[in-house]
Amino acid sequence: MTGVGKVWLVGAGPGDPGLLTVKGLRALERADVVVADRLGARPVLDALAADGVALRAEIVDVGKLPGHHAVPQDAINALLVQLARDGKQVVRLKGGDPYIFGRGGEELAACVEGGVEVEVVPGVTSAISVPAIAGIPLTHRGVATAFTVATGHDQIRALGGGRDHTVVLLMGVGTLANSALTLARGERGADCPVAIIEDGFGPGQRVTVGTLSTIAHQAAARGVRSPAVVVVGDVVRLSPYAPDALATLDLSTFDPLAAPAAHPTGKANPS
């Protein structure tokens, strides 16, 4: 071992450098090497450079594409340990938050097992921030009291609850039709509102709003692509992108447990 190195597992947020934490930025400024993901992380590095923030670190890109992992997770783990053992100050820059479907726990365990110092710097997860830019709060008094974050690869049928329990699906575009059909068979029903936010905080940001019975067709017709966040539940009615038939404005009389026909509707801004 040539020196004393350290690994920071830093959450880059959803891709907007303004949502990178101050602690995360400080770690980047002192880093010798940045091991970066494709989503969230790389756009932050590019934006920082465009803003004149000069980082002295070498950038190692280990980004993954859907269905294609150029650098396997085991190799990433080994790289972090070896760099720290070589005395490097290492930032593992991950999109969103390292502990929200980011395999941050695995990387921390590998560092601990490898005998190198490691610190987690939480980030702003896309599960919350991306719906927010579409005007969708995951909880809202009188509308939703809980939310669940899952991936489109999880056992969607095991997600209980009704429309007042918001479901957020990450990496869910490829399995959208199956997820929508499965959720529609439960308490939420086929006419439960759904929103898809593509490329949140990116140049291709776009919002598609429908219901569990229509969203798969809409997504196919519009050519919806990853990265995207899917939100299911009555909170979608609060979005300014919701069409008139779904928009809810009178929250004083809104009952999330009432039959769909009883839901008050009003006008919202067009999508």
Amino acid occupying residue 118? V
Amino acid occupying residue 90? V
DSSP 8-state secondary structure symbol assigned to residue 165: E
DSSP 175-209: THHHHHHHHHTSTT-TT-EEEEEESTTSTT-EEEE
Residue length, the chain?
A: 271
Which residues belong to the active site? 37, 64, 171
Question: What is the tally of helices (H) and strands (E) in the chain?
Answer: 7, 12
Amino acid occupying residue 236? V
Residue for token pair 């085991």: 74
Q: Is 134 helix (H, G, I), strand (E, B) or coil?
A: coil
Residue 238 has, within 13 A of its CA and on its CB side, a CA count of: 23
Q: Is 11 helix (H, G, I), strand (E, B) or coil?
A: strand
- Scored b (16 or more CB within 10 A) or e, 56-82 reads ebebbebeeeeeeeeeeeeebbebbbe
Whole-number Å distance between alpha carbons of 219 and 228: 11
